[in-house]
Structure 1
Amino acid sequence: QLGLVNLLHLVLIPGAEMKKQNLSCHISHRLQVYGEHLSGYDLTSQHRKKERFLRADTLSSPVNTYKIHKVLGQGVYGKVVECKNVDSKEKMAVKIVERNLSAAAVKEVSILKNLRQLDENKNNLVRFVEHFQQKGCSCLVFEILDMSLYDFLKKRSFNPLRVSEMRVIAQQMLVALNALKSIGLIHGDIKPDNIMLVNHTAQPFKIKLIDFGLAHSASKITAGTKIQAVGYRAPEVMLGCPMNEAIDMWSLGCSMRILDRKSFSAQWRLKIHTEHVHSTGCTVKPCSKIFEKFTGLDDIATTGKGERSDTEAEDTRAFISLLKHILQLYPAKRIDPREALGHHFITRIHFPCDASNSGHWYCKSVYKLY
């Protein structure tokens, strides 16, 4: 971990302004270096495979027939389509994986079967139904969900979530990550695109975690494995250091910060020594001084939300406190899901009001989400 301090120049937290620096060339370079075209990363990829199934009306497993209604999304892995079970009339989501990625599909199915030892509903994990082959492609059937948090934000013009709404999402995600940690599993791709609203009309902010295409066993993953989207990538992954389930906590922290801000962008990340020198021509300052001066997370309390009541301001400070514990540079110091579930931002013990005796509008807005 010595390289963790010696190689890093600056931690760019999502709340910190990138000012006028143009990092597009560096991001493009990193996308090449790390081979980001992995399962489902880029839904607008130029490497989309030719459609195979839209010409057919149905997909058939040994026991079920699914009628295709529409494409929900697609990427380099293939596509996800909304289907209806012909017999039960139940809507399902089917992930169709191209034949050249069949090995990846076999691995994902193995992981999804392993998840069945957990209670998917209780632990906020997508329910896996079955898998089968059709025309050489792998078809993975899941319960149908509403929309991703990314699509939800896009629908509301990327207006940030309230801190009280963030708590509900964070608590459910911590439950999910705690369950994964209990079986030694790293998700490897935590981001708003993979956090799905179950049914936002009937169950506001009820979420489930999806897409285990990049998941790994914590006991088998090796240093240098390239996983996680760039804007959500943990420092130990970036630097090729040993890693464990703590990388998912880092990605969750990044996701929480992005959901809380007005501008939605994942084009921030850890800048390493050579990138800083190349982009600025400046010699790197000692890391310790940089870290001491950086106060990006604390700025959340004073920017972007206008006037706050004392109660809401206290809640925001609790949110910042949890983010600081999650976005710890050193994995060993990073809070784990179980510890985070006991943090006062999640437990709400800092509130001067309760569900039965709450005359304050902010307290009411918090408790009605539970």
Structure 2
Amino acid sequence: MLLHWLVLVCSGGKSNSSVVLYHLGKTGVPRSHIYFQLLFALLPFFLLLLCCGFDFHSAVLSRHRKKEKMSTFQVHSKSAAGGTRIQFEMVPKFKRHRKKERFLRADTLSSPVNTYKIHKVLGQGVYGKVVECKNVDSKEKMAVKIVERNLSAAAVKEVSILKNLRQLDENKNNLVRFVEHFQQKGCSCLVFEILDMSLYDFLKKRSFNPLRVSEMRVIAQQMLVALNALKSIGLIHGDIKPDNIMLVNHTAQPFKIKLIDFGLAHSASKITAGTKIQAVGYRAPEVMLGCPMNEAIDMWSLGCVLAFMYLGRHLYPLRCEYESMRILVKMHATTGKGERSDTEAEDTRAFISLLKHILQLYPAKRIDPREALGHHFITGLLKRKSSIVFTFSNI
């Protein structure tokens, strides 16, 4: 019926027998003539659909709708005398994913010995959120990491590692100070000292303009002290990146930093090959390849952080591990001469020298924190004649 209607439209409303016979399999009208007539007849129809907002990529034509208006089925089962009754209920899709806020501003968090009043949210992620609180008694500001109920096992592991860190001097070794932990509303609450801002946020505030080499030296030295302390107790941080390096108080103590977030930390003696840790752009080659790993993976991540400060951009892509590996191989396979101008500062060459030692593909050849602390870039004893050249020009 629809085909006959289209034929009538194409023939100007007259039932042309030759056209009809053509569509029934007989010849009589040139094929190209019919195609053009059909095209012009249907063109206004498709234009009308486009104007009305129909989606041609969908299997079923439907108007564009806001996501929150889309519905889905929710299944409820109830036991009854005659068996189990299943009830289907149509609910808005967005309601299914909406999580009820367990903690709001001005709420209080109570441990066995302290009470904290929530002031604001500092950050949020898949684990839960970090809120700024004030101790009701001492008036001291604290940072409380609230871990969701479904991640309680991860919180228990992190608390165990944080307790293990107490054998180290947190201030001397540039590690965040862990205060206490407790449970509230089914969530795990981990209390830390309050810090200023992350290294990433600091660079973002200055439009990712690279830091001066003298500023990078201060940060590198403190991070090497932190990693050396972790290595002394056989601990891998597993998530070294600018977001987890915090400025303590940039106004009062410029570039004084502390390392935070031990949620992905592992014992070096217990971690197994193939364990996926570290952010993609800061992931060591041995982690990507599923090879055995040790504390050297943290040094690789630190090298990527130093390159980030030097370049004002990430050294390797953050989203795609394959692309990250491709660039890594390309960079280390390049054997260009590398230009050195007479005006290049010696401390910059020393920085590049340290970076080359840190970003070694083979973990056994990678410089460790103790050795790096003795490098002339850190000590300030600059070598006048450096034969090491390492450039980013071919990345």
Structure 1 residues 303 and 44: alpha-carbon distance in aligned structure 2, compared to 1, 3 A threshold: farther
8 Å Cα contact 2:54/2:64 also seen in 1? no
**Structure 1 stretches of 4+ moved >4 Å:** 7-26, 33-36, 40-50, 255-259, 270-273, 301-312, 366-370
Taking the aligned partners of 1:138 and 1:367, their CA distance within structure 2 comes to 44
Alignment partners' CA distance in 2, 1:250 and 1:12: 73
The aligned counterpart of 2:375 is 343
Give the whole-Å Cα distance in 2 for the aligned partners of 1:239 and 1:73.
32
> SS at the partner of 2:17?
coil
**Residues 1:110 and 1:271: Cα distance change in structure 2 (over 3 Å):** farther
Say if 2:106 and 2:119, in contact at 8 Å, map to a contact too: no
Counterpart CA distance in 2 for 1:310 and 1:15 is 83
- The 1:303/1:241 distance shift into structure 2, 3 A limit, reads closer
**1:57 CA drift (Å):** 1.2
Contact 1:41 1:229 in 2 (8 A): no
Secondary structure at 2:258 match in 1? strand
Q: Which has the larger radius of gyration?
A: 2
The 2-side partners of 1:12 and 1:344 are apart by 89
Distance 1:148 1:19 in 2: 78
Shift of 1:18: 63
Distance 1:110 1:305, change over 3 A: farther
1:91 aligns with 2:165: no
SS of 2:134's equivalent in the other structure is strand
Per the alignment, do residues 369 and 99 of structure 1 end up closer, same or farther by CA in structure 2, a change over 3 Å counting? farther
For 1:142-161, what per-residue CA distance to the aligned partner results, in whole angstroms no more than 9, with x for missing partners? 00000000000111111111
1:69-91 CA-partner distances (Å, limit 9, x unpaired): 00000000000000000000000
Q: Shift of the alpha carbon at 1:313?
A: 1.5
Task: Name 1:368's counterpart in structure 2.
Answer: 393
Q: Deviations over 1:288-321 (max 9, x none)?
A: xxxxxxxxxxxxx999999999686111100000
Q: Determine if contact 2:143/2:192 at 8 Å carries over to the other structure.
A: yes
Distance in structure 2 (CA, Å) of the matches to 1:191 and 1:165: 17
Please list, as runs of the form range in 1=range in 2, the aligned pairs for 1:44-63 lying within 5 A after superposition. 50-54=100-104, 57-63=107-113
Q: Is the 8 A contact 1:8 1:272 kept in 2?
A: no
- 8 Å CA contact retained: 1:165, 1:369: no
Q: Are 1:8 and 2:67 an aligned pair?
A: no
In the TM superposition, residue 54 of structure 1 has moved relative to its aligned partner by 1.0
Q: CA deviation at 1:51?
A: 2.5
Q: Percent identity?
A: 91
In structure 2, distance between residues paired with 1:149 and 1:163: 15
Separation in structure 2 between the aligned mates of residue 163 and residue 150 of structure 1, nearest angstrom: 17
Distance across 2 between alignment mates of 1:20 and 1:337? 90
Local SS of the residue matching 1:219: coil
Q: 1:59 to 1:324 in 2, by over 3 A?
A: same
Aligned residue among 320, 323, 327 for 1:258: 327
Q: CA deviation at 1:45?
A: 29
Superposition RMSD in Å: 17.1
- Superimposed CA distance per residue, residues 35-54 of structure 1 (whole angstroms, 9 cap, x where no aligned partner): 99xxx999999999543111
Residue 109 of structure 2 contacts residue 115 of structure 2 at CA under 8 Å; is this kept in 1? Answer: yes
Q: 1:180–1:57: structure 2 CA closer, same or farther, 3 Å change rule?
A: same
Identify if the C-alpha distance between structure 1 residues 118 and 59 changes in structure 2 by more than 3 Å, giving closer, same or farther. same
CA contact (8 A) 2:299 2:368 kept: yes
CA shift in 2, pair 1:55/1:150, >3 Å = closer
Q: After the TM superposition, which of the residue ranges 51-60 and 81-90 deviates more from structure 2? A: 51-60
Cα distance, 1:121 vs structure 2: 0.1
Q: Which runs of 5 or more structure 2 residues have no equivalent in the other structure?
A: 24-31, 38-52, 66-98, 305-323, 380-390
Number of corresponding residues: 302
Equivalent pair of 1:120/1:127 in contact (CA under 8 Å): yes
User: Scaled by the length of structure 1, what TM-score is found?
Assistant: 0.66
Rate the CA distance shift 1:93–1:16 in 2: closer, same or farther, 3 A. Answer: farther
Is the counterpart of residue 272 in structure 1 residue 331 in structure 2?
A: yes
Summarize deviations over 1:225-258 as a string: whole Å, max 9, x none.
Answer: 0000000000000000000000000000009999
Secondary structure, aligned partner of 2:248? strand
